[in-house]
Each structure stands twice: as structure tokens, then as C-alpha cells.
Structure 1
Amino acid sequence: MLFLLNDVVFDLDEACPVTPADARRFEKLDFDYVLQLGCELFAEDPLLHRNDPGRARRLAWLISERSPDMNAALFAAPSVACNPDLVEPRFCALPHVVMQQLQAKGRRLNAVAADRAVWNRLAA
């Protein structure tokens, strides 16, 4: 399964980003807790998806496990070390074709390209 986190496409089918023991521990987490965790992580580092792809991939996996219909998430933080309440999360379900197109862009996919293709935050 492909998952878009901000402007990085992760292939969650490559290998499970958590151990089986961790997966069992995470079963108890509900979506609201995962949402809060995502806001806290991106409040700490708004470029988490670029600076710590392993951690970002685990977050993407958690989101997809809690809400299998979603395959894209955006966590927009206004600054580094901001209050997690200021992080704006968005989620959506994208057609597989769109996800493949985004993945094909690879390193050329950036915040502006992802915004134009998915989020439309910069349109005004």
C-alpha cells in the first residue's frame, strides 16, 4: 500500500516498519491517539517526513492501520517546536493511480507539487 505523508510517498508493503511485538502493543491505540501523536511529532519537527523517514513511515503505518481507507495525510506545522495544537492535520483517500503518479515523481515530488496534486492549500 502506498501512503502519502505530506510530500513523501511511502510504500508500506515493502516491510512492516514495526516489530510484531510493537504491532501488538499499538493495537490498543485508537485513531485520536495516533492523530495527537502525529501532531506532536510534526510540532517538534515540521520536516519529519524528510528528516526522519523511518519515524514518518511508522506514523504512516499507524494511520493506515487505524483507518485503512485513508492513504494520505498532511500535518502542517507553522514552525519548529510549536504547540501541537497549532498543527493542522488533513487526511484523504486517493485513487491508486494518483498514488502511483506521485510515487513516480520520486525525488521531484515536493511540497508545492503535492499541494497542487492533493491538498490545494496554496490555491487562492
Structure 2
Amino acid sequence: MLFLLNDVVFDLDEASPVTSADARRFEKLGFDYLMELGCELFAEDPLLHRNDPERARRLAWLIHDRSPEVNAALFAAPEFDCDPALVEPRFCVLPEAVLSRLKVKSGKGRLDAVAADRAVWGRMAA
């Protein structure tokens, strides 16, 4: 299962990013809580998906675990250490073909924020 988090495509079928003890600990967390957690994490570091990919992958895994149809998330923070209320979260369901193309593009080093935005989010469109 591929999951797009901002402009990084994670393969969630690889070894689980959380231990079974953590999975049990997290199973009571709802989707709304995970959205707030994501906003807090990206408020601290808007490049979390690049600077701490394991932490970002765990967040992606948790989001997908709570809402299995969701396979893409964007947490847009205006700056480092901003108020979490300023982080704009978005979620969507992408066709597998789109995620596969983005994964290939990523493997070639051509997936960045602009390319992901054009393919999925349309935030920068004028």
C-alpha cells in the first residue's frame, strides 16, 4: 500500500513502522486526534517527511490504519515552530495508478512539493 505524505511516497506494506505494543497503545486514537497530532508534528518541523521519514511513515501508517480509504495526506505549515492551528491538513483517496506514478517519479528524484501539488493538491494553481 502506497501512501503520499506531503511530497514523499511511503510503502506501508514494508515492515510495520510500529511495534505490536505501540499498535495496541494507539488503537484507541481516533482520526481527529491523529489529524491534530500531524498538525503539531508539522508545526514543529514543516519538513518532517524529509527530516524524520520514520516518524512521518508512522504517522502515515496510523492515518491509513484509522481511515483505510485515505492514501494521501498533506500537512502544510507556513514556518518552523508555528502554531499548530496554522497548519492546513488535507486528506484524499488517490487511484493506485497515480500513487505508482508518483513513486516512480520519486525514485528518479523528480518528486518535490511542486510536482506533488500539481499532481494531487492543486494549492499553487493560479
TM-score bracket for the superposition, by shorter chain length: over 0.9
Deviation (angstroms), 1:112: 0.3
Equivalent position amino acid for 1:110 in 2:
D
Say how many residue pairs are matched. 124
Deviation digits for residues 27-54 of structure 1 (CA, Å, limit 9, x no counterpart): 0100011000000000000000000000
Q: Which residue of 2 aligns with 1:42?
A: 42
Q: Which residue of 2 aligns with 1:26?
A: 26
Runs of 4+ aligned structure 1 residues displaced above 6 Å come to none
Q: Which residue of 2 aligns with 1:78?
A: 78
Report the TM-score, using the length of structure 2 for normalisation.
Answer: 0.97
Of 105, 118, 121, the residue aligned with 1:116 is: 118
CA distance in 2, matches of 1:30, 1:96: 25
Q: Which residue of 2 aligns with 1:11?
A: 11
Equivalent position amino acid for 1:72 in 2:
A
Root-mean-square deviation (CA), in Å? 0.4
SS of the residue 2:125 aligns to: coil
Q: Which residue of 1 aligns with 2:57?
A: 57
Identity, in percent, stands at: 77
Deviation (angstroms), 1:108: 1.3
Unaligned runs of 5+ in 1: none
SS of the residue 1:108 aligns to: coil
Q: Which residue of 2 aligns with 1:66?
A: 66
